[in-house]
Chain A
Amino acid sequence: MKARVTVTLKPGVLDPQGAAIAQALGGLGFTGVQGVRQGKLIEIDLAEGDAATARAEVEAMCEKLLANTVIETYAVEIA
C-alpha cells in the first residue's frame, strides 16, 4: 500500500515561509491571494496490505517522527 502524509503547521502558528510565498505571489500579479500556508508531503511505500492496519502504523509514525505535534498537524491518506 501507499501512504501520503501531509504535515502542516497548526492554525495560529506563524508561518514565515508561507508569508514570503504570499508576498511573492502578490508580486507576480496574483492579487487575490489571501493567505498561504506551507507544509510538507511524505509518500511512504508499505508492505502492509490491510488499509486499517496501514493507517494505524502510519499514524504511529506521524506521532513518533514525521510531525512535531507541538506545532504541526498531519493527515494520512492510504491508497
Chain B
Amino acid sequence: MKAAVVVFPGANCDRDLAVALRAAGFDVAMHWWKDAGLPQGLDVVGLPGGFSFGDYLRCGAIAARAPAMDGVRAHAARGGLVLGICNGFQALIEAGLLPGALMRNAGLRFVCRTVGLETAGRSPFTHGVPPTLRLPVAHHDGCFVADDETLARLKGEGRVAFRYAPGENPNGSMDDIAGVLSENRRVLGLMPHPERAADPALGPADGAALFAALAGAGAGAPA
C-alpha cells in the first residue's frame, strides 16, 4: 500500500502523519509542494497540519493553489483516498475538494486541547473506528460553516464524518461538525489530529483506528 504526504512550507505535522501511516503499513513518500505529478500507484494522499505559507491570505488558500494540488485533484478524481488534517482540511476546502468554509474560531482564541468526538459518517476512513473517541485539536481557524443547502446535503447524505461530542465544540462549528466527506466519501477533511494520537507509547492512541481503517481500505482498493 502506498501513500504520499504533501509537504508545504510551514507544514509541521507532515512527519507525524508519515509515521502514523507507516505504522499502519503504508510505504510513505514525502512529496514536495512544487512537484505537480504525484508518485504512481498511490492509495492515499495525506495533506498535513501546520501553517502552510504562514496562513497568509486565508488558511490553506495558497497551499490549495500549489502545483502538487493538481496531482491531488487528479488522484481524487480517480477515486483515490485523500486525508486532510487541520491545515490540510483547510487546503482541501480552499481547493474545492470539500464544501463549506473554515473560519476564525468563534471564541477568537487558538484552541489546543483534546476533545471528545463522535464518529458520524460511514466511509473508508471510519470503518472500525469506535463511535466515540478523543483526539487533540490545535487550530485558530476551525469553525466550519456552510450555507443551509450545503449543510442539509452533508447531513442528508451522511457526509459528516466526525462531530464534536455534546458540549465539546471548541470553535463554534455549525452542527458540531469536526470532519466532512466528499460526495464519493473518499476525501476526508477533519480539524482534530488523529496522527498526534496514534502511538500508545505517547499517550492515548484513539487516532490509530483511523489509520487502520485506511490501511484496510487501501488493501482492498484497485491498484
Binding site for B on A (CB under 8 A): 13-14, 16-17, 20, 64-66, 68, 70-71
B94 and A68 contacting across the interface, CB-CB below 8 Å: yes
Give chain A nearest CB distance to B14 CB in angstroms: 23
- The 6 A-B residue pairs with the shortest CB-CB distance, nearest first, are A71-B101, A70-B101, A16-B108, A16-B106, A16-B104, A20-B108
State A13–B172 Cα separation when bound (angstroms).
13
A to B contact number (C-beta, < 8 Å): 33
18 contacts between A and B (CB under 8 A): A14-B103, A14-B145, A14-B172, A16-B104, A16-B105, A16-B107, A16-B108, A16-B143, A16-B172, A65-B57, A65-B61, A65-B65, A68-B58, A68-B61, A70-B100, A70-B101, A70-B146, A71-B145
State A71–B94 Cα separation when bound (angstroms).
11
Across the interface, name the chain A residue whose C-beta is closest to B65. A65
Binding site for A on B (CB under 8 A): 57-58, 61-62, 65, 94, 100-101, 103-108, 143, 145-146, 172
Binding site secondary structure of chain A: helix
Give chain A nearest CB distance to B99 CB in angstroms: 8
Give chain B nearest CB distance to A12 CB in angstroms: 9
Most buried by B among A14, A65, A70: A70
A64 and B108 contacting across the interface, CB-CB below 8 Å: no
Known: A16-B103, A64-B65. 19 other contacts (CB 8 A): A13-B103, A14-B145, A16-B104, A16-B105, A16-B106, A16-B107, A16-B172, A17-B108, A20-B108, A65-B61, A65-B62, A65-B65, A68-B58, A68-B61, A68-B94, A68-B101, A70-B100, A70-B146, A71-B145
